[in-house]
Structure 1
Amino acid sequence: MCKHCFDNEFPSFPSEDDWLKFDLELTKKLGSDKMKQIEFRPDGIRDKDDGEYIYQCNFCHEKWKLKDPDYSFRGYFMKTK
Structure 2
Amino acid sequence: MKIQMCDDCFKKEYSSFPTEKDWLDFDLELTKKLGNGEMRYTEFKADGKRDKDDGEYFYECLTCEQIWKMKDPDYSFRGYFLKV
| TM-score after normalising by structure 2 | 0.93
What is the CA deviation profile of residues 29-50 of structure 1, one whole-angstrom value per residue up to 9, with x for unaligned ones? 0000000000101000002110
Moved over 2 A (4+): none
Correspondence 1:5 to 2:1: no
2:71 match: 67
| TM-score after normalising by structure 1 | 0.97
RMSD: 0.5
Share of identical aligned residues, percent?
65
Tell me the SS of whatever aligns to 2:75.
coil
Match of 1:8, as an amino acid? Answer: K
Structure 2: where are the runs of 5+ without partners? Answer: none
Question: How many residues are treated as equivalent by the alignment?
Answer: 80
Structure 1: where are the runs of 5+ without partners? Answer: none
